[in-house]
Amino acid sequence: NQNTDSAEGDKPVIGVTMLSMQNEFIVNVSDEIDKKAQEAGVELITVDAERSALKQIEQVESFIAQGVDAIIMNPCEVEASSPAVAKAQAAGIPIINVNSETATKPSAFVGSDDVESARIAMKYIAERLGGKGNVIMIHGYMGQAAQIKREQGAREVLKNYPDLKLIASQTGEWDRAKAMSLMENWIQSYGGQINAVFAHNDEMGMGAVNALTAAGMKDKVVVVSVDAIPDALQAVQKGTLDATVYQNAQQQGSQAIETALKILNKQPYEVQVLIPFQLVTKKNVAQFVK
Amino acid sequence: MKQTLTTLYRQTGSSYRKRVQGMGTFGILLAFVVICLALALSTPRFMTVSNLTIIVTQVSINALLAFGVTFVIITGGIDLSLGSMVAVTGVVAALFAHPDTYPLIVPLMMALGAGFLMGGFNGLVITRSKVPPFIVTLGTMTIGRGLALILSKGRPVSNLSDTFNFIGGGQVFGVPFPIIILIVVFVLCSLLLRKTIWGRYMYAVGGNEQAARASGIPIAKIKMLVYILSGLLAALAGIVLTSRITTGQPNAGQGFELDAIAAAIIGGTSTSGGSGTMTGTLIGALLIGVISNGLDLLNVTSYYQQVVMGVIIIGAVVLDGLNRKK
Amino acid sequence: MKQTLTTLYRQTGSSYRKRVQGMGTFGILLAFVVICLALALSTPRFMTVSNLTIIVTQVSINALLAFGVTFVIITGGIDLSLGSMVAVTGVVAALFAHPDTYPLIVPLMMALGAGFLMGGFNGLVITRSKVPPFIVTLGTMTIGRGLALILSKGRPVSNLSDTFNFIGGGQVFGVPFPIIILIVVFVLCSLLLRKTIWGRYMYAVGGNEQAARASGIPIAKIKMLVYILSGLLAALAGIVLTSRITTGQPNAGQGFELDAIAAAIIGGTSTSGGSGTMTGTLIGALLIGVISNGLDLLNVTSYYQQVVMGVIIIGAVVLDGLNRKK
Amino acid sequence: MTSSKPILQITHLSKSFGGIKALDDVQLTLHRGEVLALMGENGAGKSTLMKILMGLEKADAGEILFEGEPLKNRDVKDTLKKGISMIHQELLVVPELSVADNIFLGRETTRWLPGWINNEDIYQKTETLLGTLGVAIDPRMKMKYLSVAEMQMVEIAKAISNNARIIIMDEPTSALSDKEVASLFRMIKDLKTQGVAIIYISHKMEEIAQIADTITVLRDGQYIATKPAAELDRNALITLMVGRQIDLLFPVAIGKQEEVLLSVRHLTQPGKFSDVSFDLHAGEVLGLAGLMGAGRTEVARAIFGLDPLAGGEVFVKGLPVTIRSPQDAIRYGIGYVSEDRKALGCIPGMSVQHTLTLASLKHYAQWGFIEARSEEGAAELMVSELRIKTASLQQGVMQLIGGNQQKVVIGKVLLARPDIIILDEPTRGIDIGAKHEIYKLIRQLTERGIAVLMISSELPEITGLCDRVLVLSQGRQTALLDRSEATQEKIMAHAVHQQR
Ligand SMILES: Nc1ncnc2c1ncn2[C@@H]1O[C@H](COP(=O)(O)OP(=O)(O)OP(=O)(O)O)[C@@H](O)[C@H]1O
Ligand SMILES: Nc1ncnc2c1ncn2[C@@H]1O[C@H](COP(=O)(O)OP(=O)(O)OP(=O)(O)O)[C@@H](O)[C@H]1O
Ligand SMILES: [Mg+2]
Ligand SMILES: [Mg+2]
């Protein structure tokens, strides 16, 4: 069925370009899109942009050339992925952004605001420390949209707590091993001064937890990260990770495909579907674990 | 006795010298054609004007870098800093390309200047010290990435003028502008390599540095030249990329160096230096582009795409090798 | 007749014994010591037992890969698939390392087996075809990444047994287990390279392949051997990494190949083959690790870290070169 | 001649490499139209002196006057421009470039745009140039497809095409056959009449006798003497070079034994040679003679398993064997010393000891582990047996000078304990003293019952040393001569036999 030509087949064809199929959260969104598309009898062409905005634009160009009926894009970058939106719109093909935004407004947006996730995480840290203490931040890959927005959110909150000091920050490149090494080195230089760690994603949060556990310091340091991947949820349940921020992959995936179908069927649809983040701590973790 | 020799001796048969020149790119061209045919038969969407145009546009950035690294590899060097140079020059161009600030020439010259400086730095360290090009350009790769982030303060530089964005996104008589840049640069690089003394000297330096030295060829100058060319072409790629994604991305271009080197080697440039052609490199870049496009068109699942991509690239070069042996 | 010959080949007492060997790594060792001293003077936290232990633990993965690629580079090859092999073998190990499923030996053997197969594939293609190692291993790099994603379905494989996690996280008499692995492997690799016929053959193959062939050395077997060794060491690195981060990550190990190659070259292994030592490579890996740790300790801003890192690496190798010239 | 002002005058020139004094207070005087032979053993410093003259190396002290003007602070390009060119001892060619490109490398003619090469002009000039030299090579052919002899002719053409006032020829004939040598000598005579001065370096005494006007001798980096060629006979010259008398050049043969160690029948490799058959007896030296390109090396390579055989049989000690690789050959007790020691003998970066033991490493190893004592012992034995002059066993093999390097390569083959040894041009480029030692060594080996197949382009060597001579011509076997009938004339007659 992969070879059915979009022009002649009566099934609608939707092109999907995802930020990175090496990221668990994105894979979950993509799986949900697949599942919902199958139920609705829609043909999907799913491609992986491998975190490159350029590649993403090229993929959208290719979708346009193939004459797909709609495009779902999980943008790599706010600005750099924008030309893809513009191109789709110029070609008269509806384009739905899922998970994150682009500067150029798409036909519809389904997702959450990354800045918000960091705000939630940092507020939790501030509360746990009573608004006073030393915080360390582990960044995602520098210059990427998610890193920039999560940093922005964290700094907004820090401004409200003058006694909460950011003593060090460094990139862990979204990677557990890198974050772990980074944390090990920080433990050497700051030792007991560290009160909390905010990591831009769970992978890095888990790396920090590993390093702190090995140094026997986990009890004294609060670690919070974003995404709520299964590993992180398990850690929250065990109490090693203090909190994570849940982003609803299922909702994002299913809403994206539903919005696309509504547009194709000329039904009314919401231009902005916001799916809220949720803080996951030991208290409420049970409802997220499957 | 000497006399008898001179009169009677004659040069023996010259059977082995049938190949005079220019057979080098034939094998990979064949592999390329085979792959194109296979794709054309598998999906009707492949052999359309619009799709082929898209492929060439997409290939242009990698091809520009591959041309630069072809010069470098011919002299026996390597340039791993290409990707970072793309990022730095792209950010520099973007910083000067906001609407209503400077005329178009300014961001272009600034980006090319940045590429010139980075390439010149590579060349200078390589010619002045005994440090292998691999390490020097690996160092520059890291330095460049840092510079791109410093210059952009870690954020994408957006809001670029329409004239600037035309470079990567515009069309002239229906032909995307990057394709025009690609063709012009290809012709210039080919001519430089094949028709000028500098091109000739590059082959000499990479083919036998001692022989080049004994012939009075300025080895250091030629090496400087190729790294600077590599820097300038990376700057051009950075400009096209930035204009195409309408943003200067400090994290752009990661891994571009490997793709570019792969294109050059697939196209027959030998890593040990002294041989290679721009035509080969262009075919190498097109080959990679066509495979990548074809796999998307055939809707091969992304994980399997990587497997198939790797297998086809190895297969194409094996085919090339078999063909050469005959 | 053999009798008369054996008299010719009889041993006599040793008279020549001048030590000219072992100067090769001196320069980079000096650079390494200088950097360590500079760091020790800049921050008191550097020269502590716990910090040095952490550095060596962190270095262990890169060092394991660098040992493997040192063998490969000595024979004149290159292995770009290291990072992908780390990912594949790590995922494979993780798949068999869930608690209460298989005994510890199973994930270990499966991972080493995967490394063996991938290295063997590299070796087979390289020895059977004319395709340059750069392209073959670049292809395997792509294929391996795809395989890791297919095997793990794109998701980290977590929930590993405590015995498995001991490999990367445990300690023996206060010494982290990765350090013990590092030391054992270093000693074995050194012995293999310096004391066995296979090590000698590797130098011969890389130094002059034609001469090695004429001396009756089985070139293809030696090349197979080095790529398989590289695969096995990558598997070991994959096991240590997976155990250290307690998950099998399909996207782990990206860019590891460049770090490993850098360590080998910084340590004096020549990219043109025929020279290099395991001690040099170890120092190269430690150098990179020390710089990275030092920059974190000094809390250098992340953008500048990259710039400083690049400058120091180039600088260290320049220093090495200056030292060698004298 | 001596009365005119010299075109070149070198005085008090010194040069050391690290601790080694390569040149110590050396002098040299050259006049217009003179052929000066620069003589000396391997490592005497001849090439170094010439490289300094070219500006490829810097002197530590001394002065060079070219037409009365001191040559200072210049690079190779300036030297070439001044009209001094050099044919280098080692072939310096760029394999991927064409013949014409190689000849005009660095001196390309341009047109239209700065740097734009005028290829037609270069090709045309090359064709004329090669024509006057009497070589038929396509100027457009890539250098890598040429035989070594052809490459050497191209290098000669390159030096001559510079309109040079002085041409340095550093062993220009090491890979040339007599035909090319003759045309080179004709060329030299032409150049002389045009007033060009030539510095000629060679280890071949016959050549020196033919063309040299004056002979300057160096020994161990020191200036020994300059004499008119006519005043020096062969023995006097050797005494100057070596510093002692060398008596009998070719040691006497003991005579072959009956046992046939190697016999080959109908060996064939299309395009290279066909139907080659011979027997090699224990204790004999069988010479393999022929012109350049006759296919001698190819026969040797095929027997040794370096190239595949298309047809024919090989028997070792009467048993049929199939040799697919050098490994097989070594196992059957065959050893091969290649004509190209750089390409096939030595491994750059390896020490003397490691090179010596490379082909026999398994003998010193247990479970793959090399026993250091036993390896070192073997290497030491070879160093003393073959009188290899080396600072230590750890000395790099590439740092050794000519004759000693060749001895190391022979030692490597010997340590694998072969019964049959194939020597391909074993004395190419090595000095008279070392040659003599290698001749003695060959005879020592045959006394031990080893069979030797020796390929040589130097006829005196073939007639002086061999028990029997097999002659190849264009890949076909044209004669098998006994020592008594093997005169130089007869061998040559068979070597050119069948030529169309
Ligand atoms: N680049 C170098 N580094 C160190 N030593 C050198 C170098 N070049 C030459 N030598 C040494 O200088 C001495 C003179 O060498 P040179 O090549 O000039 O001798 P030659 O007379 O040309 O010998 P041959 O007849 O073998 O060509 C030798 O001992 C040689 O090992
Ligand atoms: N690189 C090459 N490729 C193909 N054929 C070659 C090559 N070099 C030489 N030949 C051919 O192979 C044949 C034998 O060459 P070669 O000169 O080695 O013979 P030879 O008898 O061993 O001479 P010598 O030992 O004096 O060099 C000739 O016909 C020659 O033209
Ligand atoms: Mg010499
Ligand atoms: Mg020969």
Selected for mutation to probe chain B from A30, A50, A79 (highest B CB count within 10 Å) is A79
Chain C neighbors of A234, CB-CB under 8 A: 158-159
Question: Which CATH number covers residue C274?
Answer: 1.10.3470
Neighbour-count burial of B263, counting CB atoms closer than 10 A to its CB (0-12 exposed, 13-18 middle, 19+ buried): buried
- Structural domain total, chain B: 1
For residues D393 and A135, give the distance between their C-alpha atoms in angstroms, rounded to a whole number.
62
Contact B154 A142 (CB under 8 A): yes
Q: Where are the domains of chain D?
A: 6-242, 260-495
For residue D185, give every residue at least 6 positions away whose Cβ sits within 8 Å of its Cβ, in sequence order, or none. Answer: D207, D210, D211
Interface ipTM > 0.85: yes
Backbone phi, then psi, for B49, in 5-degree steps? Answer: -55, -45
> Ligand 3 center to residue D42 CA distance, Å?
7
The residue in chain B having the minimum alpha-carbon distance to the alpha carbon of residue D79 is: B216
Atom of ligand 2 nearest to the CA of D472: 21
Q: Which residue owns the Cα nearest ligand 1 atom 22? A: D47
Under DSSP, is residue C35 helix (H, G, I), strand (E, B) or coil?
helix
pLDDT, residue B26, reads: 74
Residue A168, H or E segment: strand A164-171
pLDDT category, D436, cuts 50, 70, 90?
confident
Residue C21 has pLDDT above 50, yes or no: no
Those residues of chain A whose CB sits closer than 8 Å to some CB in chain B are 2-3, 5, 21, 45-48, 52-54, 57-59, 61-62, 65-66, 77-83, 103, 141-145, 148
Of A169, A179, A184, nearest to A136 by C-alpha is: A169
Does C11 contact D at CB distance below 8 Å? yes
Domain that holds residue B82: 2-325
D9 lines ligand 1 (CB under 6 A): no
Backbone phi, then psi, for C209, in 5-degree steps? Answer: -60, -40
Chain D neighbors of B218, CB-CB under 8 A: 77
Look-up of token digits 């705000």: A119
How many residues appear in chain A? 290
Neighbour-count burial of A129, counting CB atoms closer than 10 A to its CB (0-12 exposed, 13-18 middle, 19+ buried): middle
Atom of ligand 2 nearest to the CA of D425: 25
Backbone phi, then psi, for D38, in 5-degree steps? Answer: -100, 115
pLDDT in tens, C70-106: 999 999 999 999 999 999 999 999 999 999 999 999 9
Asked: is D260-495 a CATH 3.20.20.140 domain? The reply is no
Per-residue pLDDT in tens (0 to 9) along chain B, 326 residues:
232 222 222 233 333 333 333 445 677 888 899 999 999 999 888 999 989 999 999 999 999 999 999 999 999 999 999 999 999 999 999 999 999 999 999 999 999 999 999 999 999 999 998 789 999 999 999 999 999 999 999 889 989 999 999 999 899 998 999 999 999 999 999 999 999 999 999 999 999 999 999 999 999 999 999 999 999 999 999 999 999 999 999 989 999 999 999 999 999 898 889 999 999 999 999 999 999 899 888 888 888 988 998 998 898 888 777 765 54
Contact A185 C159 (CB under 8 A): no
Contact D98 B21 (CB under 8 A): yes
For residues D364 and D373, give the distance between their C-alpha atoms in angstroms, rounded to a whole number.
9
Longest Cα–Cα distance of chain D, Å, equals 73
Chain D, 99 to 138: residues with Cβ < 8 Å from chain B are 101-102, 105-108, 110, 113, 115-117, 119, 135-136, 138
* Neighbors of chain A by Cβ distance (3+ pairs < 8 Å): B, C
pLDDT, residue D497, reads: 64
CB A184 within 8 A of CB A215: yes
Contact B196 D117 (CB under 8 A): yes
Q: What percent of chain C has pLDDT over 90?
A: 76
Chain C neighbors of D304, CB-CB under 8 A: 214
For residues C267 and C28, give the distance between their C-alpha atoms in angstroms, rounded to a whole number.
7
Q: Which residue owns the Cα nearest ligand 2 atom 6? A: D147
The residue in chain C having the minimum alpha-carbon distance to the alpha carbon of residue D398 is: C207
Round to the nearest angstrom and report the end-to-end CA distance of chain C. Answer: 51
Look-up of token digits 């033919």: D210
For residues B124 and B2, give the distance between their C-alpha atoms in angstroms, rounded to a whole number.
55
Q: Please state, as a whole number, how many other Cβ atoms lie within 10 Å of the Cβ of residue A8.
A: 6
Can you tell me the mean pLDDT for D106-121? 89
The residue in chain B having the minimum alpha-carbon distance to the alpha carbon of residue A148 is: B155
Can you tell me the mean pLDDT for D267-283? 93
Can you tell me the mean pLDDT for A26-45? 92
Task: Indicate the residue of B250, B296, B305 with minimum beta-carbon distance to A142.
Answer: B250
D456 lines ligand 2 (CB under 6 A): no
pLDDT category, C27, cuts 50, 70, 90?
confident
> Ligand 2 center to residue D176 CA distance, Å?
12
For residue A229, give every residue at least 6 positions away whose Cβ sits within 8 Å of its Cβ, in sequence order, or none. Answer: A24, A25, A202, A203, C156
Contact A45 B61 (CB under 8 A): no
For residues B316 and B285, give the distance between their C-alpha atoms in angstroms, rounded to a whole number.
13
Between chain B and chain D, how many beta carbons pairs sit less than 8 Å apart?
Answer: 122
Neighbour-count burial of D125, counting CB atoms closer than 10 A to its CB (0-12 exposed, 13-18 middle, 19+ buried): middle
For residue B35, give every residue at least 6 positions away whose Cβ sits within 8 Å of its Cβ, in sequence order, or none. Answer: B287, B290, B291, B294, B312, B316
For residues C151 and A29, give the distance between their C-alpha atoms in angstroms, rounded to a whole number.
19
Contact B195 D97 (CB under 8 A): no
pLDDT, residue B13, reads: 31
Does D94 contact B at CB distance below 8 Å? yes
> Ligand 2 center to residue D141 CA distance, Å?
16
> Ligand 1 center to residue C269 CA distance, Å?
27
pLDDT, residue D132, reads: 84
Q: Which CATH class is domain D6-242?
A: alpha beta
Atom of ligand 1 nearest to the CA of D203: 25
pLDDT, residue C25, reads: 66
Neighbour-count burial of D268, counting CB atoms closer than 10 A to its CB (0-12 exposed, 13-18 middle, 19+ buried): middle
Does D4 contact C at CB distance below 8 Å? no
Selected for mutation to probe chain D from C12, C16, C73 (highest D CB count within 10 Å) is C16
D298 lines ligand 2 (CB under 6 A): yes
pLDDT, residue C19, reads: 30
D180 lines ligand 2 (CB under 6 A): no
Q: Cα distance from C14 to chain D (closest Cα, Å)? A: 6
